[in-house]
């Protein structure tokens, strides 16, 4: 998952209003760059997020789809981060020229669907149940695909945050590579590594990681009815208190700014830090880094507090709502292709994203693969402790408020975590009441 910032509710509302006033619906520009007509290919636009091996895998699958038949042509275009992609889809939708299909980051499903930008996939999935087999998707990945009882996305490249470990560094420090398995053990490991002149863990102040630690503490970020911020509860404040203590003691180095995530990753790559928290989407690339830098790497569950807990992440494939029937059917055929058992196995092995289907996870091919590369299996095993990401319409702004509050509490000595989260909760409740 690649975790990124979400869509602004105010921006999205403005764009939907502009759409209603200006373009006049499906009679204007279509989401496809050509209309379906007898004997002609239906051309559909597919907009993607993220780069590197993630984008490579998508390009390979799109090429495979285009070569598999002669009725549909998918034109793929990368739009940058999830944040960039969301903004561009909004603008294109307002102009009547949205892509037919795009990578929708899962926490944005609520606001996109409630604003009328997504096609309801429920009837298509029911009609083609024999092919799609919704029940075959891992249950822990389906929660954010539904909004108000309707299906708006098919799990594609899905993730959880996992714990990456430099096993060679741990062995050199006399530490058991099987750990740390808890917050307390992470602190213990950290003190040993610090004494050896190493930074135990470098990480950005991120809301995705924070959601994991809240779940591990037995709490929730937002109430189930999406009406109240609950992250200023004891369970929500505990992660910030832990991070502040670890930062003050020099056991976690926090990075900030636009390049915070990349900066944290560099410390791990350069063997300055023994641990990193990252998406399962980075398994393949991280294994290449470890091999290139001649160190042994392992992955594990994120260390637990009262219990294990982790949010899911990544994207669905979602269809925009202003398509002709021919375009919609063509796009649906593409989504079915991209999410087959065979293709979910392919992208899992190529990148590290979760195998979203039970049949893929249980396949002999993957079970054999895991014996050789157990680093890939951790994220799937960790799904038994997965929780939904918040889907409140205001969560875009709320997440930024949470990050700002945590950053202030962690890095400023005189700021108490409880006070910072109380202040953030007041702002969040105003957004949730709109």
Q: How confident is the model at residue 394, as a pLDDT?
A: 84
The number of angstroms, rounded, from the C-alpha of 176 to the middle of its chain's C-alpha atoms is 30
Q: Percent of the chain, pLDDT > 70?
A: 91
pLDDT for the residue 25: 34
Rounded to whole angstroms, how far apart are CA atoms 295 and 176? 16
What tens digit of pLDDT does each residue of 116-133 get? Answer: 999 999 999 999 999 999
The encoded tokens of residue 147 equal: 């909004």
Radius of gyration for the alpha carbons in the chain, expressed in angstroms and rounded: 22
Q: What is the model's pLDDT at position 34?
A: 43
The Cα 432–Cα 340 span in angstroms is: 38
Q: Which pLDDT score, from 0 to 100, does residue 4 have?
A: 40
Same fold, 9-159+312-362 and 161-311+389-432: yes
pLDDT in tens, 309-334: 999 999 999 999 999 999 999 999 99
CATH 3.40.190.10 fits 9-159+312-362, yes or no: yes
* pLDDT for residue 10: 38
Extents of the domains making up the chain? 9-159+312-362, 161-311+389-432
* Cis amide linkage into residue 294, ω under 30° from 0: no
> Per CATH, which fold does 161-311+389-432 belong to?
D-Maltodextrin-Binding Protein; domain 2 (3.40.190)
CA torsion, ordered 208, 244, 201, 183, to nearest 10 deg: -80
pLDDT at 159 over 60: yes
Supply the pLDDT for residue 355.
Answer: 94
**pTM of the predicted model, to two decimals?**
0.86
In the prediction, which pLDDT does 427 show? 96
pLDDT of residue 434: 80
CB 409 within 8 A of CB 244: yes
pLDDT above 50 (res 26): no
Q: What is the pLDDT of residues 177-233, one digit of tens each?
A: 999 999 999 999 999 999 999 999 999 999 999 999 999 999 999 999 989 999 999
User: pLDDT digit string (tens) for 407-424?
Assistant: 999 999 999 999 999 999
pLDDT band at 13 (very low <50, low <70, confident <90, very high): very low
C-alpha 93/C-alpha 56 separation (Å) is 26
């Amino acid at each position: 998952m690649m975790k990124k910032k979400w869509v602004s509710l105010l921006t999205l509302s403005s764009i939907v209003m502009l759409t209603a006033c200006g373009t006049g619906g499906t009679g204007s520009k279509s989401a496809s760059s050509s209309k379906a007509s007898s004997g002609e290919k239906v051309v559909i636009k597919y907009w993607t997020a993220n780069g590197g091996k993630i984008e490579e895998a998508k390009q390979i699958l799109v090429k495979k789809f285009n070569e598999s038949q002669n009725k549909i042509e998918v034109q793929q275009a990368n739009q940058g981060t999830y944040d960039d992609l969301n903004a561009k889809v909004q603008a294109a939708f307002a102009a009547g020229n949205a892509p037919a299909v795009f990578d929708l980051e899962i926490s944005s499903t609520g606001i996109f669907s409630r604003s009328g930008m997504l096609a309801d996939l429920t009837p298509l999935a029911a009609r083609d149940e024999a092919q799609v087999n919704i029940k075959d998707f891992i249950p822990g990945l389906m929660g954010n695909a539904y909004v108000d009882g309707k299906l708006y996305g098919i799990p594609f490249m899905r993730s959880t945050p996992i714990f990456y470990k430099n096993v060679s560094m741990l062995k050199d420090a006399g530490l058991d590579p099987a750990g740390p398995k808890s917050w307390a053990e992470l602190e213990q490991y950290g003190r040993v590594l610090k004494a050896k002149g190493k930074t135990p863990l470098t990480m950005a102040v991120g809301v995705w990681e924070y959601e994991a630690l809240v779940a591990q503490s037995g709490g929730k970020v937002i109430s189930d009815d999406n009406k109240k911020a609950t992250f200023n509860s004891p369970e929500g404040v505990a992660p910030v208190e832990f991070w502040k203590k670890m930062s003050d003691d020099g056991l976690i180095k926090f990075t900030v700014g636009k390049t915070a995530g990349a900066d944290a990753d560099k410390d791990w790559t350069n063997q300055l830090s023994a641990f990193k928290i990252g998406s399962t989407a980075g398994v393949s690339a991280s294994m290449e880094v470890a091999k290139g830098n001649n160190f042994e790497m392992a992955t594990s569950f994120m260390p637990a507090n009262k219990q294990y807990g982790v949010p899911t992440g990544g994207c669905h494939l979602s269809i925009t709502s202003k398509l002709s029937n021919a375009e919609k059917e063509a796009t649906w055929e593409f989504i079915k292709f991209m999410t087959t058992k065979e293709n979910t196995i392919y992208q899992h092995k190529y990148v590290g994203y979760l195998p979203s289907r039970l049949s893929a996870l249980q396949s002999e091919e993957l079970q054999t693969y895991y014996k050789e590369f157990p680093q890939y299996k951790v994220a799937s095993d960790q799904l038994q402790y997965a929780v939904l990401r918040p889907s409140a319409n205001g969560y875009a702004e709320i997440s930024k408020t949470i990050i700002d509050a945590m950053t202030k509490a962690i890095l400023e000595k005189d700021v108490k975590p409880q006070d910072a989260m109380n202040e953030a909760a007041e702002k969040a409740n105003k957004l949730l009441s709109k």
